[in-house]
Amino acid sequence: MPEDAHTLLVVADTEVAEVAQALEAVAATLGWTTTVVDDLDRLHAALPTADSVVVLSHDHGLDGPALAAALAGEVGYVGAMGSRRTQERRRQWMVEHGVSDADQGRIHGPAGLDIRADTPAEIAVAILAEVIGVRHGAPGGALRDRPGPIHPNLAPGESFCPADPAR
């Protein structure tokens, strides 16, 4: 598998299908494998191979249990789309079902970087940008605001621009 191989598990239902489709399309451009599930049985089957889990569903019988299952696993990123009110409802469900505050603190919710995303595609970009940032230990601010080299893991002269014709 390539070094950047990544498996994304998306928990969705019909009400958020457009965002799930956009996540799948954008993740594909990154070379990631995406699995979209709409029930707990499929979630539990796919969870062992997931690197990241994004819960889009607002279904009361699916979103809380999906988050709890993701937190019990070994995924590097757990995100949950939804308003602050929805996040609080999920948090309350998790408290009632014994999910620790420490585990709940691992949830990125509302999921995504704050880029004022409105469309399904923009929401997908915001969420996947946050996933990438978490994977690389980066906070996700504007590159111009970060001091130092753009690619701190490379020696000077080792980076390249994919659009450079001299490459």
Domain ranges of the chain: 7-145
- pLDDT at res. 144: 78
What would the CATH number be for the domain defined by 7-145?
3.40.50.720
**Minimal CA–CA distance to 6: which of 26, 24, 25, 33?**
33
Q: Note the pTM of the prediction, 2 decimals.
A: 0.88
CA distances from 79 to 101, 110, 115, 148 (A): 16, 7, 16, 29
Paired tokens of 13? 């239902």
Paired tokens of 65? 């249990």
What are the residue ranges in the chain where pLDDT is below 50?
1-2
- pLDDT at res. 165: 57
- pLDDT at res. 86: 95
- pLDDT at res. 166: 58
Q: What is the torsional sign of CA 5, 99, 64, 48? A: positive
Give CA angle at 108 (139, 83), nearest 5°: 120
- pLDDT at res. 2: 47
- pLDDT at res. 133: 95
Residue 76 makes CB contacts below 8 A (sequence gap 6+) with 51, 52, 134, 135
